Amino acid sequence: MIKKKIRDFKNAVDRFSFAQMTSNSDGKTSGSGTMGILICTIGCLTFLLGCIDKMFINKDIDILTQTIIFTGIGAALLGYRKSMHQTTSESENEEH
């Protein structure tokens, strides 16, 4: 059972591609997907630095609140890309 789960995980990792995360269904680069990934990455990095700042340097929580909002914006961009893709595929299905 565990070996099957490990094998499934390995297959999923082998199929992972950053290009698929930033592309639309037609193969073109999605601006909102690319920026969503970039903003989420920067947001996570600044959240980590904010935690270090909170623990050792300034003891201020403002930076953590701002990075949570910043990362939320990135996640919203990724969600917008997915919802935009669904609405365009539904409208294409209705035309055919």
The string of pLDDT tens digits covering residues 16-50 is 676 777 777 777 777 777 888 888 888 888 888 88
On whether residue 57 sits in a domain, the answer given is yes
Residue 72: the pLDDT is 86
Q: Which long-range contacts (CB under 8 A, 24 or more apart) does 27-30 make?
A: 30/81
On whether residue 50 sits in a domain, the answer given is yes
What's the total number of domains in the chain?
A: 1
Residue 90: the pLDDT is 55
Asked if 37 contacts 22 with a C-beta cutoff of 8 angstroms, the reply is: yes
Structure tokens at 18: 């950053």
On whether residue 64 sits in a domain, the answer given is yes
Mean pLDDT over each residue of the chain, to the nearest integer: 76
Residue of 40 and 1 predicted with greater confidence: 40
On whether residue 24 sits in a domain, the answer given is no
Closest CA to 68 of 47, 83, 94: 47
Residue 70: the pLDDT is 84
Task: Report the C-alpha gap between 53 and 44 in whole angstroms.
Answer: 14
On whether residue 16 sits in a domain, the answer given is no
Q: Which domain holds residue 61?
A: 32-88
Query: Which residues share a beta bridge with 23?
Result: 29
On whether residue 95 sits in a domain, the answer given is no
Structure tokens at 70: 């910043």
On whether residue 22 sits in a domain, the answer given is no
- Stated pTM of the model: 0.61
